[in-house]
Structures are given as C-alpha cells and as structure tokens.
Chains A and B, each alone.
Chain A
Amino acid sequence: MSPLAPFRKRTLSAGIAVALVVTISLLGLRGVAHADLGDEPSSKSTSDQVDDSDKPKDLDKKPATEPGTDLTKKPAPAVASEPFYERWQFWAIAGAVVVGAVVVILGGRALAHQLNGGDVRPCNPDFNMRCFGEGR
C-alpha cells in the first residue's frame, strides 16, 4: 500500500497545466521588462507656505501665456509617479509567478512520481496480503 496521494492518470494534464502557467508567467515578465517600473516618486516641495515668496499679485504681472505659444497644443500627459508596488500589473505578475511556482512544484512532484511508475496497484484481497516487489 502506498501512502502517497494518487497521482495516477494526471501526468499529461499536470504537464499541460504547468506549461500554461509558466508560459503565462514568462509572457507577463516580458511585458514587465518594457514597463517603466523604476521611476522614482516625483519630488515634492518641502518648503513651507510661509517661505513662499510668491505673492498672488505677482501672478498678475506674468502674462497668461508666453508670446508665440500655440494654445491648440495639449500639455504632455503627466508621467506616472506611483511606485511600482502600487501598480496592479506588478501584483498580477507577482501573483502569477507565485501561483506558477506552486504549480511547478506540485506538478514536478506529480511528474516525478509518475515517471517512477506512479502508484502500484492495490493488493487483491484474495491474495491475503501476499503482494511484494516494486512499490510494496
């Protein structure tokens, strides 16, 4: 009698599941390589408002727009400034990697077990426990 959980007949499905998860993980990692995950948080002014020498009246002195400015141009979109660990993509990929690792470990164990012959069949009760040999 084998104390192991039965893995019989699951070799192919386990292999396909492992392959799928690893494939998804790798494709996701390729996307991460292109993503801009290394941005530093934008610098914020640390000066107090008391130190702010700008006066509201100063604004009046400045022209609303510089001469020659094309008003039809839209401002460039702000660069994402949130840290990488706050992005959902990071956690999606991290989760996929963790799940993939677990599946690889479990699938690897199942595969190794199957490659070693899987489970030996149970001893026929008529044989009165006279079952011997490999796996017994």
Chain B
Amino acid sequence: MRAPRLVATWIVGLAALAGAGCNDFHYYDITVSFNINQSTGGYPQAEVATVQTLLFNVSGADSGSFRIGPNGEGLPLVAGATNLGTVEYATFADSGTLTFTVQAFNSTRTTPDCKTGEGTKAVMATSMSTTMDAVMINKTGAGCTQ
C-alpha cells in the first residue's frame, strides 16, 4: 500500500508545482522621448538627432543595464523627431519599484564627457502582465566632439 500512496503524493506534488507558476514574466513598456522644451531643461530640437547612444539602467525590484544604438534600434532619430518609441523590459519582479534611468550620449562612446542628457522614471512593479509608462530625457550637458 505504500507504493500507490507514494505515487499519489508524487502526482499531487507535480501538479502543485506545475500549477504554481513560480515565475511569470512581467513586461514594462517604457516610451522614450526627448524633452524639447528648453525652458524646462529640454534639448534644442535640432540637437535631438545628435544623440547616438542611450544607456538604460534598471534598479530597484530588478537590476539590469542595456544599450540602445548607435546606428540601430531607432537611433539616431531622424531630424525633427523627438520620440524614440517603446522600450520593453521583461522581468519576474511583480512588487516593489523599478527605476529606469536613461542616459543619452552624442557619441558611440558612453563616457561621461559625451553624455548630453538623462531621464529617470520610477515604476511600481505589479502583477499585471504589461505595465506601460514613459520617460522623458532632459538635456544635462554639451557632450563630446565625437
């Protein structure tokens, strides 16, 4: 009688594990745009297209960093555009705060002297599958000469 009981326990355990859904992906769709209102610390319109590279840093409930561009993933923006579009970040985090920090560089180098702007957004992590938010990049420096 021990074997059937063991098998039953095994089946129940397996089903519990399968149904638990320990790790579910959560997606944070962050729309990235450049502030072109110079009175509030924005870029001059013509300067937005000089941004070659964006560095994303994620901290808080999850951590990570990634790079957008140069010459790809929408960068550099075409002249006159101020909106990069959506950046999607996948994570298992479903609680706490996710802080997205974006640094803009006017070069393929991502050294501090080439940094021209920065934006930060704190997003509450939830159990929702997709959370949408936006981050705006303000001008913070002149950058480097390529």
Stretch among A22-30, A51-59, A60-68 lining the B interface: A22-30
Report the count of interface residues on A (CB-CB < 8 A). 33
* Given known A22-B10, A120-B25, contact A114–B18 (CB-CB < 8 A): yes
Report the count of interface residues on B (CB-CB < 8 A). 36
Mark B residues whose CB is within 8 Å of A: 3-4, 7, 10-11, 14-15, 17-20, 22-25, 27-29, 56, 58, 62, 64, 66, 68, 72-74, 84-92
Is the C-beta of A126 less than 8 angstroms from some C-beta in chain B? Answer: yes
CB contacts (< 8 Å) of A14 on chain B: these are 18
CA distance A93 to B23 in the complex (A): 37
CB contacts (< 8 Å) of B62 on chain A: these are 133-134
CB contacts (< 8 Å) of B29 on chain A: these are 127
CB contacts (< 8 Å) of A102 on chain B: these are none
Whole-angstrom distance between the Cβ of A17 and the nearest chain B Cβ? 10
CB contacts (< 8 Å) of B3 on chain A: these are 26-27, 30
Question: Can you spell out 18 A-B residue pairs with CB atoms less than 8 angstroms apart?
Answer: A15-B18, A19-B10, A22-B10, A115-B17, A117-B25, A118-B25, A120-B90, A121-B25, A126-B85, A127-B87, A130-B68, A130-B73, A130-B85, A131-B88, A134-B62, A134-B90, A135-B25, A136-B90
CA distance A118 to B20 in the complex (A): 13
Whole-angstrom distance between the Cβ of B123 and the nearest chain A Cβ? 13
* Given known A16-B15, A111-B17, A117-B24, contact A130–B10 (CB-CB < 8 A): no
CA distance A27 to B3 in the complex (A): 8
A27-44 at interface with B (beta carbon < 8 Å): 27, 30
CB contacts (< 8 Å) of B18 on chain A: these are 11-12, 14-15, 111, 114
B74 & A134 in contact (Cβ 8 Å cutoff) = no
Q: Which of A18, A26, A128, A132 contacts B64 (CB 8 A)?
A: A132
